[in-house]
Structure 1
Amino acid sequence: MNPLLKAVLRLFAAPRVNMREDYAKVRHLQRQLAALPRPRYRSTSWRTIAGGRDSSIPVRVFDPHEKRREELLLFFHGGGWVTGDIESYTPACATMAELTGATVVSVDYRLAPEHPFPAGFEDCYEMVQRLLEDPGLADLDGSDRIVLVGDSAGGNLAAAVSLRLHELGHRGVRRQVLLYPVTHWDHDPQTSPFESVHHHGEDYRLTSTEVQDYMQMYVPDPEARRDPRVSPLMAPDLSGQPETLMITAELDLLCDEGEAYARALAEAGNSVRIHRVEGALHGFITLPRFSRSLRDAYEVINTFLDEELPADAGTDADAGTDADAGPDSARPGTVP
């Protein structure tokens, strides 16, 4: 990266923000930024789906101007399980609906520290389970139309939900798109097993200090952070997972752990594709539509959604044998 640009990015590094004290201010700022300029979308609405907290889970529905797909993208937002919400992610969800041509449903799961683990996870799990049992709640003619999508902490929740469904013997979704997810509990540069934490944990958009603050608020008990519902890489059984598209950002401290999880899924017999967006920072899915990183990612996402699902997708699908494919490929490749 250009040294001048790197220096500028350092000015916005998270060690200058104490997330454990200032998370409420960050939430407020995120909502203000999301409102400028006013997002343009065909329609949105609030709905509730029975189950979960107080017998309902709020969602916001985004419809594209031109609907080109029958899939429903069930979206779990990022923000370290602490910040981010439907309001702050409205521009990103509206963009997702337009660029994919699919309806997007954004889930308003509970946030830490007011509601620590497993509250947010339970909301997301309940939502997926209810839609799988009754797709008509979202005007779907079948549960195979549901695609889980999540970025950062939301990608963590999507992966954890899929693992839990298989663990309990429930039917899962057939596809999931994981955008630079958290998959491991350790983000201390002194002890983390991932090189990207050492290389990108201080200089860019997301820092190791911020991730550790988020983790402490989400899961106060250090031992509980090894739970697969928090750290999917710790799961003893990764079989029977949805066909997965893993998208990582080159300059993100979470890059290596996301790709490690994708490789582990493939080794367990799942169909997995990895795409690393070159030059991208953490959180790029929230950038304006003209962003190169955003366009790169949606080209790959649309290709993934266009592909025909094998008959056994979402069970123990064959991981394929393309040994040359990997995170640096221009299109998503099947991981052996």
Structure 2
Amino acid sequence: MSLLLSLFRPLYDSIFSTLPFRYRWRLFILQPLSLISASLTVTPWIFSRRYSVHWFPTRNGGSVRAIVFIPPKKEGDKRLRPLHLDMHGGAFIGGLAEYNARWCAKLSDETGAVVVSSMYRYAPKHTFPAAIDDIDDVVGYLFKNAEVKFGANPELFTVSGSSAGGNLALAACQQPACQHPSKTAVRASVTFYALIDLRLQPKEKPMPPGFPTIDPLRFLYPLFDAYPASARAENFENPRMNPIVADIKTLPDNMLLIIPSIDILLVEQLAFVERVKADIEAEGDDGRPRRVEGMVFEDCFHGWLELPSFFIREKTRMDAFGAGCTLIKEVHKKYGFDLAAV
């Protein structure tokens, strides 16, 4: 039932909510687009036994839905597994934990990590900081319970996210428990077409070469901007809203950004990579080897990784996911976990 409610939430809010009309009519039109997106990305996983569904409590007395991938263990392997948290995309206005199931399953299989894909509250009903508050609460819950509930080690913690989820992945690093020298510091992040600069409205984002002259989704821009709009002015330099301004001391030591070239988020991601590289160089050797890489995929577009193979070049997905898995495995080995070693 909760899955159905999530699938039809835009329609429900367009009819029964007290949101301004400028949002409600757009939510009504968004509903069929959401169903199409879900049918393409979620359908293969709905009846999968690859993951289990869990609900994590949040500070507002509610809870958020998450799916958890627990890798099988070889006989005699009693080690705690690394812990990974992923956040799906959806422009802060929707989506399901299953949106990133293909990535989460691959990551769990290849690295041996327990992978959690979490949902969060959505705009326009819930604006900043609702989504990041929920993710912070999920992180806190996992730190306290992951070992007992899932056999996962919160001291070997990594994150990932797509689009709005990429924003939340980096924003979650802003809580002290996720930063060096905490034992639960985020060791690495992998983001896919991350939305990391909410200081600009969608209509103000620079269009890269190859992007349509007229964005066919332009009429949805007010919805896409609903999460930060009301709080933008007072949070201009807040990295929980805008990870692009985060100090490198609050970011993971290892970061990979998967960046499609045909995306209005191209410029901000490249700028973030170059700024962090410059900060690392300026910081000098402080005993914390850091690295950040932006991996650009030419002729690919925002959200391409969630689509079925007949819509995209499958090699690009394998290359992107492979690079992410490689980084996570390298970090695991650095902190003493090697899946192959029993």
Cα offset for 1:162? 0.7
Where does residue 172 of structure 2 map in the other structure? Answer: 161
> Please, which of 253, 274, 282 is the counterpart of residue 294 of structure 2?
274
Cα offset for 1:283? 0.9
Where does residue 74 of structure 1 map in the other structure? Answer: 85
Does the aligned pair in 2 maintain the 1:187–1:208 contact within 8 Å?
A: no
- Closer/same/farther in 2, CA of residues 116 and 64 from structure 1, 3 Å limit: same
Q: How many residues align?
A: 290
Secondary structure at 1:155's aligned position in 2? helix
Where does residue 173 of structure 1 map in the other structure? Answer: 186
Cα offset for 1:295? 0.7
Is 1:44 the counterpart of 2:46? The answer is: no
CA distance in 1, matches of 2:245, 2:292: 18
Cα offset for 1:39? 6.0
State the one-letter code of the partner of 2:298. E
Cα offset for 1:153? 0.2
CA distance in 2, matches of 1:256, 1:164: 26
Is 1:245 the counterpart of 2:256? The answer is: yes
CA distance in 2, matches of 1:213, 1:165: 31
Where does residue 3 of structure 2 map in the other structure? Answer: none
Does the aligned pair in 1 maintain the 2:128–2:228 contact within 8 Å?
A: yes
Where does residue 184 of structure 1 map in the other structure? Answer: 197
- Closer/same/farther in 2, CA of residues 182 and 266 from structure 1, 3 Å limit: same
State the one-letter code of the partner of 1:181. A
Cα offset for 1:119? 0.9
State the one-letter code of the partner of 1:173. V
Does the aligned pair in 2 maintain the 1:206–1:253 contact within 8 Å?
A: no
CA distance in 1, matches of 2:63, 2:255: 28
Does the aligned pair in 2 maintain the 1:238–1:264 contact within 8 Å?
A: no
Secondary structure at 2:186's aligned position in 1? coil
Does the aligned pair in 2 maintain the 1:75–1:105 contact within 8 Å?
A: yes
Where does residue 291 of structure 1 map in the other structure? Answer: 314
Cα offset for 1:173? 1.4
Deviations 1:37-60 (A, max 9, x none): 456754321223344342543311
Where does residue 37 of structure 2 map in the other structure? Answer: 30
CA distance in 2, matches of 1:231, 1:206: 26
Residues 104-253 of structure 1: pairs in structure 2 closer than 5 A: 104-136=115-147, 138-165=149-176, 171=182, 172-185=185-198, 186-187=200-201, 191-192=204-205, 194=206, 197-199=207-209, 202=212, 210=220, 213-224=223-234, 226=236, 227-235=238-246, 237-242=247-252, 243-253=254-264
> Please, which of 257, 270, 287 is the counterpart of residue 268 of structure 2?
257
- Closer/same/farther in 2, CA of residues 309 and 107 from structure 1, 3 Å limit: closer
CA distance in 2, matches of 1:206, 1:297: 26
Structure 1 gap ranges (5+): 1-17, 313-336
More helix by share: 2
Does the aligned pair in 2 maintain the 1:42–1:64 contact within 8 Å?
A: no
Does the aligned pair in 2 maintain the 1:152–1:180 contact within 8 Å?
A: yes
State the one-letter code of the partner of 2:52. S
CA distance in 1, matches of 2:210, 2:274: 21
CA distance in 1, matches of 2:263, 2:111: 24
Deviations 1:242-301 (A, max 9, x none): 121111112222122112222323333342122112222111221336712211101211
Structure 2 gap ranges (5+): 1-24, 281-289, 336-342
Secondary structure at 1:280's aligned position in 2? strand
Deviations 1:216-253 (A, max 9, x none): 35533442462322222234x33242121111112222
- Closer/same/farther in 2, CA of residues 53 and 136 from structure 1, 3 Å limit: farther
Deviations 1:135-154 (A, max 9, x none): 42552453233211100000
Where does residue 307 of structure 1 map in the other structure? Answer: 330
Identical positions, percent: 24
Secondary structure at 1:174's aligned position in 2? strand
Does the aligned pair in 2 maintain the 1:251–1:279 contact within 8 Å?
A: yes
Task: Note the aligned Cα RMSD (angstroms).
Answer: 3.6
Does the aligned pair in 1 maintain the 2:41–2:308 contact within 8 Å?
A: no
State the one-letter code of the partner of 2:225. M
Does the aligned pair in 2 maintain the 1:162–1:173 contact within 8 Å?
A: yes
CA distance in 2, matches of 1:31, 1:296: 24
- Closer/same/farther in 2, CA of residues 139 and 21 from structure 1, 3 Å limit: same
Secondary structure at 2:262's aligned position in 1? coil
Cα offset for 1:304? 0.7
TM-score (norm: length of structure 1): 0.72
Secondary structure at 1:157's aligned position in 2? helix
- Closer/same/farther in 2, CA of residues 36 and 131 from structure 1, 3 Å limit: closer
